[in-house]
Amino acid sequence: MNQFFEYYTQAICPDTGARAGVFRTPHGIVETPRFMPVGTLANVKTVTPDQLRGTGAQMVLANTYHLHLQPGEDIVAEAGGLHRFMGWDGPMLTDSGGFQVFSLSQMRTITEEGVTFRSPRDGARINLTPERSIEIQNALGADVIMAFDECPPYPASREAVELATARTERWLKRCIDHHRKSSQAQRQALFGIVQGGVYPDLRAQAAASLQKLDLPGYAIGGVSVGEPPELIEAIVKATTPLLPEHKPRYLMGVGTYREMAQAIASGIDLFDCVIPTRLGRHGAAFVRGERWNLKNARFRRDYAPLDEECPCYTCQNFSRAYLSHLVRSQELLAYTLLSIHNITELIRFTQRIRQSILDGCFAQEFAAWLKPAP
């Protein structure tokens, strides 16, 4: 793509659209498919960068909307950029703020120019436009930055989704023009986002026009906003093959076992989701495809690790009984230990899928996950 970014496919599954590849960024490589942990406010909640490295994390996310409100991108830039500020020297991605503006903020006004909303912190009026989003992301300095998009809610009328999708396309062109003028243009890859709600033909139209723009990467946005899992699967299955083959493909906001396996089968490479840390803070653990609640009585005297095959710090050092005790006592260490395990588990799941694609046995090995949701 340029001297800083490259994506190539290493293997393609003979039975599905799944692919194993490598995405090279200025801060290192991402072996795909891979789950990306979310560090909303320039930290993955309760986990230090060293611990995060230990989970197998390669690329990490941060949120433009949240960092713009606190501490503000000028402070991050003065501190030397997001990597230095948060002590993470690996690949990073920032979202555009679009999703948060549309999902979190009340009292917003949308015009062709952009979105105006009240800061939930102090009520100040904030104006976010495609140009501002790019400027903020340029100042934050992540390797991958996202186009500012309009993310329609679910459910939404076809007419509303049509308008949002068309506006997202116009906004993308403004993002591209503005990023091109930035001093960061070469060192930051701008990904475009396919919107279109649950309407396959709108998704297809959006994918077709994005493809013409020859961007360094493409994302599917506006899924996992409350629609049933079978609709997410159908949208991803229909849309992913329409994205360029030789560019990384990112499914935004998705990160359960089944959703990831199905999306990988459609040809998705990257995922992000807050689920491993959020569930960790609720005392839940992902173990071999299941979700366990550590408050459950059966764990009180269970002295085995969460998963004896898991290489994570938590499973190597602590028992289910100890984790259950920490959760019941609401000790802060519970959240750190469960987050470390949950992130490791979801990354290992995508790593195992990656290996099976390289070995040519993905469709057989992961057949149970590729069936429709029960």
CB contact set of 228 (below 8 Å; sequence gap of 6+):
none
Q: Map residue 369 onto helix, strand or coil.
A: helix
- 310 contributes a contact to Zn ion by CB under 5 A: yes
Q: What is the largest CA-CA distance in the chain?
A: 61
Pick between residue 173 and residue 278 the one whose CB is nearest to Zn ion: 278
Min. distance of Cβ 368 from Zn ion in angstroms? 21
Min. distance of Cβ 343 from Zn ion in angstroms? 9
- 347 contributes a contact to Zn ion by CB under 5 A: no
219 - beta bridge partners? 193, 250
Site string for Zn ion, 313-332 (x = CB under 5 A): -xx-----------------
For residue 26, cis peptide bond before it (omega within 30 degrees of 0): no
Pick between residue 179 and residue 341 the one whose CB is nearest to Zn ion: 341
Of 167, 341, 348, 354, which one interacts with Zn ion (CB under 5 A)?
Answer: 341
Per CB under 5 A, the segment of 227-235, 241-249, 308-316, 360-368 that binds Zn ion is: 308-316
Is the separation of the CB atoms in 49 and 39 below 8 Å? no
Kind of pairing between the strands at 19-25 and 284-287: unpaired
74 has binding-site annotation: no
End-to-end CA distance of the chain: 41
Closest CA to 142 of 91, 84, 182, 185: 91
Q: Which two tokens stand for residue 312?
A: 């994570």
Per CB under 5 A, the segment of 10-18, 29-37, 312-320, 349-357 that binds Zn ion is: 312-320
Is 272 one of the catalytic residues? yes
Pick between residue 4 and residue 313 the one whose CB is nearest to Zn ion: 313
Catalytic residue among 95, 143, 269, 307: 95
Pick between residue 36 and residue 312 the one whose CB is nearest to Zn ion: 312
50 has binding-site annotation: no
Min. distance of Cβ 244 from Zn ion in angstroms? 36
Is 95 one of the catalytic residues? yes
Q: Map residue 125 onto helix, strand or coil.
A: strand
Pick between residue 109 and residue 316 the one whose CB is nearest to Zn ion: 316
Site string for Zn ion, 34-63 (x = CB under 5 A): ------------------------------
Q: Which two tokens stand for residue 368?
A: 């149970």
What's the one-letter identity of residue 32? T
Pick between residue 119 and residue 316 the one whose CB is nearest to Zn ion: 316
For CA atoms 217, 223, 229, 232, the dihedral sign is negative
Q: Which two tokens stand for residue 224?
A: 């996992």
Min. distance of Cβ 307 from Zn ion in angstroms? 5
287 - beta bridge partners? 290
Per CB under 5 A, the segment of 99-107, 116-124, 307-315, 328-336 that binds Zn ion is: 307-315
Q: What is the strand order of the sheet 109-110 is part of?
A: 109-110, 115-118, 125-128
CA distance 290 to 276: 12
Is the separation of the CB atoms in 335 and 317 below 8 Å? no
Per CB under 5 A, the segment of 107-115, 122-130, 179-187, 305-313 that binds Zn ion is: 305-313
CA atoms within 13 A on the CB side of 29: 9
175 has binding-site annotation: no
Catalytic residue among 214, 272, 307, 359: 272
**Phi, psi angle pair for 21, to nearest 5°:** -150, -175
Of 223, 251, 312, 343, which one interacts with Zn ion (CB under 5 A)?
Answer: 312
Is the separation of the CB atoms in 188 and 140 below 8 Å? no
Is the separation of the CB atoms in 104 and 31 below 8 Å? no
Min. distance of Cβ 56 from Zn ion in angstroms? 11
Q: Which DSSP category does 241 fall into?
A: G
Min. distance of Cβ 60 from Zn ion in angstroms? 19
Per CB under 5 A, the segment of 56-64, 152-160, 318-326, 339-347 that binds Zn ion is: 339-347
Q: Would you tell me which residues interact with Zn ion (CB under 5 A)?
A: 310, 312, 314-315, 341
Which residues are catalytically annotated?
Answer: 95, 272
Binding-site residue positions for Zn(2+): 310, 312, 315, 341
Binding-site residue positions: 95-99, 149, 195, 222, 310, 312, 315, 341
Binding-site residue positions for substrate: 95-99, 149, 195, 222
